[in-house]
């Protein structure tokens, strides 16, 4: 483990140079990794582990679309693909990658197969951090660990196939065997992490829920829509409003500050753009900071978790969700975006 200074703060980081794939294989050579769930994270993590040479099986409900997807991905029923309970029984490490709501529902089945010495693995701190609400309380004689890739399972798989790695956080909630550290780092390397940085289950879920609702998804959509609407209301065409709001951001500017930072991106824009950005970032910060403080407090007190539990457990949840997503997809801004994307040179 290396101590690396980030902006003046030391953090514990594990790289693949100090914990190579060969070491990870040695640590887990006698383990059977049971990946429970084949939805968001399950495919990417299980396929990467399999391709990296680990013994992996998948647990999924038979007859579901995810079961069929697993079969199409090469998992063999009765050999590497099983019903959830049988996979949990067979696994020495149980990767619990169902949705938060499904984890609550299936927990009694998983818990009875958590025999002494096994490891319970998460990629999100939700179930453990809010255990009073979820009921997910592991027995004391198993390791409870987490590797949380900083992106979707699709990105994890895509980057793996490109020979790259997606950075992940890791945490140990419970070390019953004395092997939890090596287990979690080996799994982090196995699933295709770029580097691993240390966190806790609580810090992971607080930052993750804030990020999803904030700059990663919720805030960015709200900000984009506000600018798009303003331009449209002042007579700009849909194409012009979308290009100035979304297309230039994602296709031109994001690659610049992803590569070398916001300061470098500012330095490589026109002086007019620089002046305006420097002048207006303050008002936007001052307007948004109270919203982020409110958001973080809602996450920390458990209100956001409870809203998710209550909503996602409703029998008509999926229908309502699909209706909301359809409304987003059918909005003028994203219908315009669909046309703009088709007009990109690479699509012609």
Active-site positions? 124
Distance CA 293, CA 298 (A): 9
Position of tokens 């769930």? 37
Comparing CA positions, the residue from 123, 115, 313, 126 lying closest to residue 206 is 126
DSSP string, 38-56: -SSSHHHHHHHHHHTT--E
Cα end-to-end span (Å), the chain? 48
- What is the dihedral angle through the alpha carbons of 53, 59, 64, 70, rounded to the nearest 10 degrees? 10
CA distances from 113 to 77, 86, 89, 144 (A): 20, 9, 5, 14
- List, in order, residues 6 or more apart from 41 with CB less than 8 Å away: 97, 123, 149, 152, 153, 156
Q: Is the dihedral of CA 174, 179, 182, 184 positive or negative?
A: negative
């Amino acid at each position: 483990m290396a101590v690396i200074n980030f902006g003046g703060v030391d953090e514990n980081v594990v790289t693949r140079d100090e914990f190579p794939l060969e070491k990870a294989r040695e640590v887990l050579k006698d383990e059977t990794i049971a990946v429970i769930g084949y939805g968001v994270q399950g495919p990417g993590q299980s396929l990467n582990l399999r391709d990296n040479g680990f013994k992996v099986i998948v647990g999924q409900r038979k007859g579901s679309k995810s079961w069929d997807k697993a079969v199409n991905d090469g998992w063999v029923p009765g050999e590497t693909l099983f019903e959830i309970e049988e996979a949990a029984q067979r696994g020495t490490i149980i990767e619990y990658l169902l949705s938060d709501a499904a984890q609550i529902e299936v927990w009694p089945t998983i818990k009875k197969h958590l025999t002494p010495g096994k490891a319970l693995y998460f990629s999100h701190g939700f179930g453990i951090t809010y255990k009073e609400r979820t009921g997910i309380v592991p027995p004391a004689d198993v390791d409870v660990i987490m590797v949380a890739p900083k992106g979707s399972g699709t990105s994890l798989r895509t980057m793996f196939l490109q020979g790259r790695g997606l950075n992940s956080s890791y945490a140990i909630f419970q070390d019953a065997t004395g092997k939890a550290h090596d287990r979690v780092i080996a799994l982090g390397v196995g699933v295709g992490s770029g580097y691993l940085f240390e966190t806790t289950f609580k810090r992971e879920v607080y930052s993750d829920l804030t990020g999803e609702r904030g700059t990663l998804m919720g805030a960015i959509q709200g900000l984009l829509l506000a600018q798009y609407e303003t331009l449209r209301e002042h007579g700009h065409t849909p194409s012009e409003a979308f290009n100035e709001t979304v297309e230039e951001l994602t296709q031109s500017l994001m690659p610049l500050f992803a590569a070398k930072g916001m300061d470098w991106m500012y330095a490589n824009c026109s002086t007019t753009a620089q002046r305006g950005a420097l002048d207006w970032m303050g008002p936007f910060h001052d307007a948004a900071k109270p919203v982020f403080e409110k958001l973080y407090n809602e996450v920390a007190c458990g209100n956001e978790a409870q809203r998710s539990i209550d909503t996602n457990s409703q029998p008509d949840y999926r229908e309502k969700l699909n209706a909301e997503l359809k409304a987003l997809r059918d909005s003028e801004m994203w219908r315009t975006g669909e046309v703009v994307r088709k007009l990109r040179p690479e699509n012609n």
